[in-house]
């Protein structure tokens, strides 16, 4: 497939939204990019994730053209993709032309508004670790105010809190500005 080429954005509050097409876990990622404005782009959800290294690039087909993604963004999109319908998403690594310094500067300045106007902020912590399900159990227990937690469960919490996402300064604005937030780790969601 031909490489994806960004069309320039027009207007001071213009953004791109990924329309991620539905699909099964083993199918390639497919979608299209739409231009909109922050105010009229209602209905999109922003993804908060760590970039990770670009050492193992993956791809998505956008209108039949191929675009490279980091492994972490690819994993987030695979996890967040609906099986049978499209999903409107905003992710900085895909919706901002990272090769255009001027655009990147303008878009980074718009990020507080982008996160504020998102219907939800979807936090993707990464693929599930061996003890991630213990964190889900911990949170369910805490909801019931049951403090009989063992060291293994506390270790699972520490493992999750040591993930790279929690080390990013940007998470402060992404979380504070979110109207609604969901956290994904492997197959589970909070």
For 62-120, how does the pLDDT look when each residue is reduced to its tens digit (9 = 90+)?
999 999 999 999 999 999 999 999 999 999 999 999 999 999 999 999 998 998 899 99
Same domain, residue pair 140 and 47: no
Q: How far apart are the first and last CA of the chain?
A: 37
Same domain, residue pair 52 and 90: yes
Domain count, the chain: 2
Question: Does the pLDDT of residue 135 top 70, yes or no?
Answer: no
Same domain, residue pair 29 and 85: yes
Same domain, residue pair 47 and 122: yes
Same domain, residue pair 99 and 158: no
Same domain, residue pair 105 and 150: no
DSSP 105-118: HHHHHHHHHHHHHS
Which residues constitute the domain of residue 46? 14-126+165-189
In whole angstroms, what is the distance from residue 154 CA to residue 65 CA?
A: 45
Per-residue pLDDT band at 169 (split at 50, 70, 90): low
């Amino acid at each position: 497939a031909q490489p994806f080429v960004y069309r320039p954005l027009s207007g001071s509050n213009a953004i791109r939204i990924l329309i991620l097409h539905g699909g099964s876990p083993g199918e390639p990622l497919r979608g299209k990019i739409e231009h909109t404005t922050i105010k009229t782009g209602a209905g999109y959800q922003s993804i908060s994730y760590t970039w990770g290294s670009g050492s193992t690039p993956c791809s998505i087909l956008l209108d039949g053209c191929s675009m490279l993604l980091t492994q972490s963004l690819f994993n987030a999109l695979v996890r967040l993709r609906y099986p049978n319908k499209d999903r409107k998403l905003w992710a900085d690594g895909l919706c901002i032309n990272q090769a255009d310094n001027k655009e990147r500067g303008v878009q980074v300045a718009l990020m507080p508004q982008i996160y504020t106007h998102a219907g939800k902020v979807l936090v993707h912590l990464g693929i599930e670790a061996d003890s991630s399900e213990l964190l889900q159990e911990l949170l369910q227990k805490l909801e019931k105010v049951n403090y009989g937690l063992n060291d293994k469960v506390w270790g699972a919490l520490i493992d999750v809190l040591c993930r790279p996402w929690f080390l990013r300064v940007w998470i402060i604005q992404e979380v504070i500005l979110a109207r609604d937030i969901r956290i994904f780790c492997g197959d589970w969601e909070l």
